[in-house]
Structures are given as structure tokens and as C-alpha cells.
Amino acid sequence: MKLTLVHLFPKLMNIYGDKGNITALRKRCEWRGIDLEVLAVDDQRDFELISRGDLFFFGGGQDRDQMHVWEQIANSKEQLVNLINERIDARAVFLLICGGYQLFGNSFLDANGVHIPGLGILNIATIAPGSEVKHRCIGNIVIQTKLDIEPQTLVGFENHGGQTKLGEGLAPLGKVVKGYGDNVHDGVEGCIHKNIFGCYMHGALLPKNPHFADYLIDLALKSKYPNEKVSLKKLDDTLEMSAHAYTKKLIV
């Protein structure tokens, strides 16, 4: 079997070890004999590659770089949104973290706290921290999901200023057990919409949450090969799961 992973704007959006998510997906496919091709989309010339994607990753960036990305896509927003929507309809899987998560929403903040419209694919809005949030939401985070994974927890590290509010009816990725999450009020982290998973969790997220990495790979394979029986070969995740459990123990 073969999967194509499209990494959105890796040149500018590659902060806080998010590269580790690509590494985790790459290795976990490789170890099972699944051929994973990784394509980078850095500007409009690469947009045609999007229609080849089964899996998408969009990571976080520094404020200035996030604005750069926005400046690049603002002019071709409609084209980009159409291409992405086609893939969403084909049940492709998206993992969006931090800046990438914010950009998929209805609005986000620029470096000076000014609101900018996003891609409008996710019904979320990111606002400036209010008076009760002095700096940024920084720290270890553990969340409890309702996903079909074992254990149902995810662990990571968040570092964001923006406060994200989920729109009506949108499901969070999980409930915050420890940490801040989307914002300091709601006690939830991330969101799920179709096969799009957005969140603020760095760490990098996937190496320490191999069950979630496999969940994404499994989903992507099932979308791509609807008529075949997909069953992921079990890997020895002793080290991964002990890192997961140990982090949880450190934090909670």
C-alpha cells in the first residue's frame, strides 16, 4: 500500500520540533512496508500537489512566518480552499498543529494582535488573550479523547498566545486533563471535523502518541483503499508507550 503525505508550508511553518510528526509517520509506515511519499507545498506553484495527498500535515510557525504564509496564500485563497475541500470530501486525513490549526479557522491573530481572516475551513476563531491571560499558554498538556485508541489520552507541550473558540457543534479533540488547551476557559483542546484533527500539541505530538499516529495512518489507508481490508501490523511500541505513560505521570 502507498500513501502520500503533503506537508503544508514546511519552510516557514516548522517550529517546536513539529518535524518529529513527519518523522514518526514516515518511520511507522516504513516499518510496516507502507510506502509513504512526502511532498512539500511551499507556495502557489506547488498547489497542484495537494490533490495527491492522502495525509496532510500543517505545523506551527513563528508569528512573522505565519503572516508570511498568510500573505502568500491570501491572493490564492479560493484556489487553495477548493483544492483542500476536494481532499476533505475524499476523506483525506489532516493533522493541524498550532499555527496551521489557527490558519484553517475563520480568523486568527497577526503578530500585533490584529484579526486576519483564515481559510475558513474549520469553524473556529482565534482571539487575543484577554486580561486574565498575561502571557502565553505554555506548558505540558494531557488530554482525554473519545477516539477509538488505547489509551484514550494524548500528551504534548503547548505554547500559544492565541485563544481559540470552537464554533457551534464542533467537537473538541479532547478534554484537558492538565494544561490550558484551546483557551483558558473551556477546558477543551483541539477539534475534530470530518477527518481533520487540529490542536495545539507539540512535543512532538506523534512520537509519544504512537496510537494516535497509527489511528491517522489507518484512517488515511481506509479512505484511500475503501474496498480493501486495512489492518495495521502491530509494532513494538514499548518505548513509545512508556514515554507516553512517563510524561503523563510527570505532569498529572
Task: Tell which one of 140, 218, 225, 230 touches other proteins (CB under 8 A).
Answer: 140
- Binding status of residue 129 toward other proteins by CB under 8 A: no
- Binding status of residue 69 toward other proteins by CB under 8 A: no
SS (H, E, C) the chain: CEEEEEEECCCCCCCCCCHHHHHHHHHHHHCCCCEEEEEEECCHHHHHHHHHCCEEEECCCCHHHHHHHHHHHHCCHHHHHHHHHHHHHCCCEEEEECHHHHHCCCEEECCCCCEEECCCCCCEEEECCCCCCCCCEEEEEEEEECCCCCCCEEEEEEEECCEEEECCCCECCEEEEECCCCCCCCCEECEEECCEEEECCECCHHHHCHHHHHHHHHHHHHHHCCCCCCCCCCCCCHHHHHHHHHHHHHHC
Q: CB of 63: closest distance to other proteins in angstroms?
A: 7
Task: Tell which one of 157, 180, 197, 200 touches other proteins (CB under 8 A).
Answer: 157
- Binding status of residue 17 toward other proteins by CB under 8 A: yes
Interface mask toward other proteins for 173-202; x: CB under 8 A: -----------------------------x
Cβ distance to other proteins smaller for residue 138 or 171: 138
Q: CB of 26: closest distance to other proteins in angstroms?
A: 9
- Binding status of residue 250 toward other proteins by CB under 8 A: yes
Cβ distance to other proteins smaller for residue 90 or 235: 235
Binding segment for other proteins (CB under 8 A), chosen from 13-21, 85-93, 164-172, 191-199, is: 13-21
**Where along the sequence are the contacts to other proteins (CB under 8 A)?**
15-20, 23-24, 27, 62-64, 136, 138-140, 157, 159, 202-204, 207-208, 239-240, 242-243, 246-247, 250
